[in-house]
Structure 1
Amino acid sequence: MHTTLSRTEQISDAARLVRYACHPRRKPLGDGDYHELVERYRATPVFREVVDAIAEGMSLHVITAHSEEGLRVWAVPGGLFAFKLADLPAKMRDPKDRMVYGLIHVAIAAHAYPTAADLEEETIKRVSVKEIDAFVRHLVHRLREEAQDDAGLLPAAAAAQAAWNSYDALPPHRLGRGGGLAPSSSFGRIKSVLDWLVGQGFAQKAKALGPLEYRLLNSFRLQVAGAAALPAFQKITDVRRQQIADTHPTTAEDN
Structure 2
Amino acid sequence: MTSTAPRTQSISDAARLVRYACQPRRKPLGDADYHDLLERYRSTPAFREVADAIAEGMSLNVLTAHSEEGLRVSAVAGGLFAFKLADLPAKMRDPKDRLVYGLIHVAIAAHAYPTAADLEEETIKRVSVEEIDRFVRHLVSRLREEAQEDAGLLPAAAATRAAWSTYDSLPPHRLTKTGQLAASSSLGRIKAILDWLVLQGYAQPAKALGPLEYRLLNSFRLQVAGAAALPAFQKITDVRRQQIAGSRPTTDTEN
Which TM-score band applies after superposition, normalised by the shorter structure?
over 0.9
List, as ranges, runs of 4+ consecutive aligned residues in structure 1 with deviation greater than 4 Å: none
Aligned counterpart, 1:186: 186
1:100 aligns with 2:108: no
Partner-residue secondary structure (3-state), 1:148: helix
Aligned counterpart, 1:227: 227
Aligned counterpart, 2:60: 60
Distance 1:82 1:140 in 2: 30
Distance 1:242 1:149 in 2: 18
Distance 1:216 1:155 in 2: 29
Shift of 1:155: 7.7
CA contact (8 A) 1:149 1:155 kept: no
AA paired with 1:236? I
Distance 1:40 1:238 in 2: 41
CA contact (8 A) 1:11 1:50 kept: yes
AA paired with 2:98? R
CA contact (8 A) 1:174 1:185 kept: yes
Shift of 1:147: 1.0
TM alignment of 1:207-222, pairs within 5 A: 207-222=207-222
TM-score in terms of structure 2 length: 0.92
String of CA shifts for 1:26-52, please: whole Å, max 9, x gaps: 000000110111111111100000000
Distance 2:118 2:51 in 1: 29
Partner-residue secondary structure (3-state), 1:74: strand
Aligned residues: 241
AA paired with 1:69? E
Aligned counterpart, 2:251: none
String of CA shifts for 1:211-254, please: whole Å, max 9, x gaps: 0000000000000000000000000000000000018xxxxxxx
Distance 2:156 2:222 in 1: 30
Structure 1: gaps of 5 or more residues: 248-255
Structure 2: gaps of 5 or more residues: 248-255
Partner-residue secondary structure (3-state), 2:74: strand
Shift of 1:110: 0.1
TM alignment of 1:163-182, pairs within 5 A: 163-182=163-182
AA paired with 1:210? G
Shift of 1:149: 3.5
Change (3 A) 1:140 1:40: same
1:245 aligns with 2:221: no
Which has the higher mean CA deviation after the structures are superposed, 91-100 or 193-202? 91-100
Aligned counterpart, 2:38: 38
Aligned counterpart, 1:134: 134
Shift of 1:156: 1.4
Aligned counterpart, 1:253: none
TM alignment of 1:106-125, pairs within 5 A: 106-125=106-125
Partner-residue secondary structure (3-state), 2:61: strand
Shift of 1:178: 1.5
AA paired with 1:45? P
Shift of 1:116: 0.2
Distance 2:17 2:119 in 1: 26
RMSD of the alignment, in Å? 1.5
String of CA shifts for 1:165-191, please: whole Å, max 9, x gaps: 100010001101211000000000000
CA contact (8 A) 1:125 1:217 kept: yes
Partner-residue secondary structure (3-state), 2:246: helix
Aligned counterpart, 2:11: 11
CA contact (8 A) 1:172 1:187 kept: yes
Distance 2:190 2:237 in 1: 18
Distance 1:15 1:226 in 2: 25
Change (3 A) 1:155 1:16: closer
Distance 1:196 1:169 in 2: 23
Aligned counterpart, 2:196: 196
